[in-house]
Each structure stands twice: as C-alpha cells, then as structure tokens.
Amino acid sequence: MHETRDPAVAEAPAPPPLAEVLAATRVVAIPTRTRFRGISVREAAILNAPLGPSEFSPFPEYDDAEAAAWLAAALDFGWAEQPPILRDRIEVNATVPAVRPAEVPGILARFPGCRTAKVKVAERGQTIAEDVARVRAVRAAMGDRALVRVDANGGWSVDEAATALRQLADLDLDYAEQPCATVAELVEVRRRLGARPGSAAGTAHARRAATPRPGAVRIAADESVRKASDPLAVARAGAADLLVVKAQPLGGIRRALGIVAEAGLPVVVSSALDTSAGIAMGLHLAAALPEGALAGACGLGTAALLGGDVTIDPLVPLDGGITVRRPGLDPELLDRYAAPPEREAWWRERITRCYTRLLQ
C-alpha cells in the first residue's frame, strides 16, 4: 500500500476575485463523436487563467452544492501552484461508449496503442445481453492480453450487477466500476462475487478493502467517492478494491491527493468527458500520486471522444499514453465552438452562484 501524504496537501489557497474569474471565462459547446452518457454536445467553461488553462464543467443536472467543488478545482488549477509531479507520462485506457458491437473497432481506433479498455454498460434502455455483447466485442478486438474494465455508473441493481458480472466472468475483467449506486449495494455485490471480509477499521495506514478471492471481479468505486459527503465511507465499509478519482468533482488536485492518502486504496484517475484543459488537471493529479498508488491505466483519454477541442495540441492518446503537459488555448477554436449567448449566460450565472458557495 502506498504511504500517506501530509494531510495539509488538501488545503487550497483562497479563490481569486469573481470579476477576474468571469473575465477569464469562455464557454464552449463541443459535439461528441458518439453519444456518451446521453450527451451529444459537451458544454464547458474554459478559464484562461494566469497559470494556464483550466476548466469548470460539471454536468448541467448537478446542483450548485455539488458543482461548487468543480469550481474550486478549476480556480485552484488556474491560479495556484500545484503539487510537484513524480512522472511525466500517464498510461491511459480506451473508453468505449454504449455502442453496438459492430462500432467497437472504430471506437478503439481513436485510442492508438492503448492496451486497456473501459466499456460503458447499464445504459438506460439497454439490456444486460447488449452489455455482454459489447464487452465481448472489445475483448475480441483487443485480444487476450489486454485489460478490459466495465463501468455501470451505478446503473445496476445488486441482482443485475451480480448476474451481469457472472456472465462476464469468462472475459477476465480487470474490474467493474460503480456497478451499483450505494455503498451498501457495493458491499453486497462484493459479498455475492466472493470477496473475503476484510478490516476497514484503524488508521489510514492500516485501512484496507476486503481481498477478492481468486477469480472474483474487483469492484471500483467512482460516484460513491466523488458524489458523497463522506468520500472515505467506501474504504471504511470495505465496499471496493480500488477507487476511481476525478480532480474536478473532488475539489482539485490537493484535495484529491488527501482523499487518496486517507483511503489507503489503489486508484485510477479518470475524467468526465473534459476538454484538454480539464484533462491537463487529471494528468497532473495522476502524475502527482505517490509511488504505488496508481492501479493501472487512467481514464484520461476521453478527449478522443470529442469532435473538437480548445487547443491545437490536444491531450489524446499516443502509443497508449499521454505526456503530462498543459497546452495553450487556441482563440480560433474557442470562437469556433463558442456556446450560444443564452448558454454562455447560463454558465456565467452558475459560476457566480458556485463562487458564492465557496465563500460561505
């Protein structure tokens, strides 16, 4: 297990003045190449900040209380010096939306060199049989030596998760991400799939998830960490074998590092269909994690699923990874993908409300 970092790493400086933030803001609306989580156009507020581009892009359905953490992350990354990085390149996974099996090879072609794939399952309106067919298509396209993961975004019940993961057992899954919505459900899924009970008590150094029996599918927690009022509840309950962390919803790189240190579980860093401005934040988080913390390829290649970007140097996979860097914004692309005036106003009002929450 990786060593705990100084808890002070989670402390962020005070935010810059609101007027300065709004002056640095451009709102973009970028089409996706394939419908992803019901989204065909990804909107984001891009901040041309003093220390480099940053991004504020909580999904529209998130309320201000949840979105405020995303704003804290964007301001911290744009206006404050970040923790030092320990590696300059991050291996990433391919991300396969809930497409038909015939579309899988075309999706994988957007992730050159990637030897790990995360496959979206439990899409509303689709069946477990469709999920299994999609995962089998990925395995067939990538071969036996590749790692294949599934991500349900909390969309299965316990019974559905147990059924689906048993049907997928012969495909040698790396792990299943957030198969169910709640921590209690994750605990039950792990029990049904054969996890040995483990100790979740004690200090951060001693805290561990239950150990899966040979052949049991590992469980990763995403929404149960980033959307929870207590992100460490997953580790204490023994509900997961690893965590999927995202810099924006956790409040920034500093806070994410603190959560990882306290949880004491291996992690994968992921994105939320960010532009390259947001991907840069995720790459920096992955690069700053202590040795031994990363649990494999990170979900930071998703800019490849967008039909455009905000930079001419996009952070997309090459030879299975991405070099840690912070590309500059391109004015022409910001203009090309500028959101309609009413959406620009909506995002600016949202920033103002979330900023007020940060000061409370």
Q: Is the pLDDT of residue 236 over 90?
A: yes
Q: Is the pLDDT of residue 207 over 50?
A: no
> Is 93 in contact with 297 (CB distance < 8 Å)?
yes
Confidence of residue 10 (pLDDT cuts 50, 70, 90): very low
Q: What is the pLDDT of residues 298-357, one digit of tens each?
A: 999 999 999 999 999 999 999 999 999 999 999 999 999 999 999 999 999 999 999 999
pLDDT attached to residue 3: 44
Amino acid at 59: F
pLDDT attached to residue 60: 94
Q: Is 63 annotated as a binding residue?
A: no
Q: Is the pLDDT of residue 190 over 50?
A: yes
Residues 89-323: name the CATH superfamily: Enolase-like C-terminal domain (3.20.20.120)
pLDDT attached to residue 204: 37
> Is 121 in contact with 138 (CB distance < 8 Å)?
no
Alpha carbon distance 159, 212 (integer Å): 19
Q: What is the pLDDT of residues 295-309, one digit of tens each?
A: 999 999 999 999 999
Q: Tokens 């220390």 sit at which residue?
A: 51
Domain boundaries, the chain: 14-83+331-359, 89-323
C-alpha distances in Å from residue 268, one per residue of 80, 138, 241, 265, 310: 24, 20, 11, 10, 25
Which spans in 3-114 are helix H? 18-23, 64-79, 104-108
pLDDT attached to residue 116: 98
- Sequence-distant (6+) residues with CB within 8 A of 250 are 69, 73, 225, 226, 231, 256, 259
pTM: 0.91
Q: Is 151 annotated as a binding residue?
A: yes
Q: Is the pLDDT of residue 202 over 80?
A: no
Bigger pLDDT: 7 or 352?
352
- Sequence-distant (6+) residues with CB within 8 A of 34 are 97, 99, 103, 107, 305
* CB burial string 294-306: b at 16+ within 10 A, e below: bbbbbbbbbbbbb
Q: What is the mean pLDDT of residues 98-124?
A: 97
Alpha carbon distance 77, 12 (integer Å): 10
Q: Is 177 annotated as a binding residue?
A: yes
Of the candidate ranges 30-39, 262-271, 295-304, the one whose mean pLDDT is the lowest: 30-39
Alpha carbon distance 102, 128 (integer Å): 17
Q: Is 156 helix (H, G, I), strand (E, B) or coil?
A: coil
Name the residues annotated as catalytic. 120, 246
C-alpha distances in Å from residue 56, one per residue of 37, 47, 70, 75, 348: 19, 8, 6, 9, 11
Q: Is the pLDDT of residue 139 over 70?
A: yes
Confidence of residue 227 (pLDDT cuts 50, 70, 90): confident
Confidence of residue 11 (pLDDT cuts 50, 70, 90): low
Pick the CATH number of 14-83+331-359 from 3.40.47.10, 3.90.1150.10, 3.30.390.10, 2.20.28.120: 3.30.390.10
pLDDT, mean over the chain: 91
Do 14-83+331-359 and 89-323 show the same overall fold? no
